[in-house]
Amino acid sequence: MLKSLSKALASVALVAFASSAFAEKGEQWLTDMDEAQKVAKAEGKSIFMFFTGSDWCGWCIKLDNEVLSKEEFLAYAKDNLVLVDLDFPQGEDVITEEQRAHNDKWKDVFKPRGFPTVYLTDASAKAFAQTGYQAGGPVAYVDHLKALIEGKKATEQLQADIAKAKGLKRAKLLDQLLNTDGAMIDDKNGKIEEIVALTEGKDDTLYNKYHTIQVGNNMMSDLGKVYRGEGSNEEKLDQILAVFSSYDSVKEGQALHRLLGSIGDQFIKTGQTENGAAFMDKITSDSSYPLEIQQTTALFKAIITANASEVDHEKAIKFYDQAMAMDPESQTGKRAKMMKEKLAEKASAQS
């Protein structure tokens, strides 16, 4: 009872604190994007769009307290930024329904993946950079923003150079553009396809790099179609395995990691843990795959085994050991060690 009351009081305190912080932001902050665009156009400033959850998002509150409310940040913003607060509170009375609808509209436009998210845009609300919480306080954050705004100028110059370039020179400039830190680049997939076309048979390094990305994008697109479609877990497993078979020449890359993870998850959902472990074991034993993928599938084999309806703890721990031994210092090796220890504790508690 006391514990529940303490939690409730803590929650109320957090909401009150966050709401207070929101209220204290001051006149320098706008809440209307139409007004912000007019000001940005008239004063030649960039728009600082802050997507936040003022009464529930810990990192948003942290960014607000450590940076956005500080004089160093506000002084820089006064001459360079139009500040816009787009709040998505859980409390019903923190903002008006009209404001909530306005914020939802811009959330639908930008689709931030999490909070806090900051977009820097021009006066037309076209984003040129994305960021969020950064440790180090207001001075470091201002330096970070300056770099992003300077980067916009460099990106614009690069895009102008690309417009004039042809052949391999164009491909190399496109590569440079796609690797610009923090920049929001339009039609990335189209640029990737162009690099592949320009470099095939002419620059193996760039071709292999972007062909792998292109194939990975196609793989993820096909996987997305499976998940968006109808069908039972068993049918989805068959469809995902078909996607894997259609890309059997792909031996590395982040997309392959994600596809294999989806396959493992689907084997668990269907209760086919023995078949799933056997599937992963084939890849673990296949020397045509790099060590990174072999170790990943060794870990997936252990995870699948540990999620069987009747867990053979000894076997699962053995598989975790196998994954660890392949490269103990890799992230996958360290993850295998952590998961093995948790499983061993669980097994010990049950015995």
CB distance 126 to 59 below 8 Å: no
Higher pLDDT, 73 or 20: 73
Average pLDDT over the chain reads 91
- Alpha carbon distance 313, 336 (integer Å): 14
Q: Give the number of other Cβ atoms within 10 Å of residue 328's Cβ.
A: 12
CB atoms closer than 10 angstroms to residue 56:
17
At residue 84, does pLDDT exceed 90? yes
d(CA 248, CA 32): 51
pLDDT above 60: residue 196? yes
Low-confidence winner among 1-15, 146-160, 178-192 (lowest mean pLDDT): 1-15
The stretch 265-274 carries a mean pLDDT of 97
Please report, as a single letter, which amino acid is at residue 236: K
Mean pLDDT value of segment 197-220: 95
Identify the sign of the CA torsion 177, 216, 284, 274: positive
Does residue 217 register a pLDDT over 80?
A: yes
pLDDT of residue 8: 41
State how beta strands 117-121 and 81-87 pair.
unpaired
Tokens of 166: 């042809």
pLDDT of 194 > 80? The answer is yes
- Which amino acid, residue 294? Q
Q: 169: which 2 tokens? A: 């020179």
Q: Between vectors from CA 135 to CA 132 and to CA 137, what angle results, nearest 5°?
A: 105
Query: Which range (111-115, 183-187, 236-240) has the least confidence?
Result: 183-187
What tens digit of pLDDT does each residue of 102-143 get? Answer: 999 999 999 999 999 999 999 999 999 999 999 999 999 999
Share of the chain above pLDDT 70, in %: 92
Of the pLDDT bands very low, low, confident and very high (cuts 50, 70, 90), residue 68 is very high
Task: Using only the alpha carbons of the chain, give its radius of gyration.
Answer: 25
Residue 20 predicted with pLDDT over 70: no
Helices (H), the chain: 2-23, 33-43, 58-63, 71-80, 97-110, 137-164, 167-178, 188-199, 204-228, 233-246, 254-269, 273-284, 291-306, 313-326, 331-350
pTM of the model: 0.65
Q: Is 101 exposed, middle or buried (0-12, 13-18, 19+ CB in 10 A)?
A: exposed
* pLDDT score of 3 more than 80: no
Residue found by looking up tokens 């989806």 in the block: 262
Q: Is the pLDDT of residue 9 over 50?
A: no
Question: 186 falls in which pLDDT band (50, 70, 90)?
Answer: confident
Give ∠ CA 88-90-91 in degrees, rounded to 5. 110
Q: Does residue 330 have a pLDDT over 60? A: yes
The Cα 203–Cα 200 span in angstroms is 7
Query: Residue range 330-345: average pLDDT?
Result: 95
The number of residues making up the chain comes to 351
Q: Residue 47: beta bridge partners?
A: 82, 121
Higher pLDDT, 267 or 186: 267
Mean pLDDT of 289-299: 97
DSSP, res 183: B
Question: For 26-64, how does the pLDDT look when each residue is reduced to its tens digit (9 = 90+)?
Answer: 689 999 999 999 999 999 999 999 999 999 999 999 999
C-alpha closest to that of 169 among 191, 193, 195: 195
pLDDT of residue 6: 42
Task: Phi first, then psi: give them for residue 344, nearest 5 degrees.
Answer: -65, -40
- Average pLDDT for residues 220-226, to the nearest whole number? 96
Q: What percent of the chain has pLDDT over 90?
A: 85
Between β-strands 117-121 and 46-52, what pairing exists: parallel, antiparallel or unpaired?
antiparallel
Q: Judge whether residue 172 has pLDDT over 70.
A: yes
Does pLDDT of 97 surpass 60? yes
pLDDT confidence of residue 25: 64
pLDDT at residue 1 greater than cutoff 70: no
Q: Which residues contact 64 (CB under 8 A, 6 or more apart)?
A: 21, 25, 52, 54
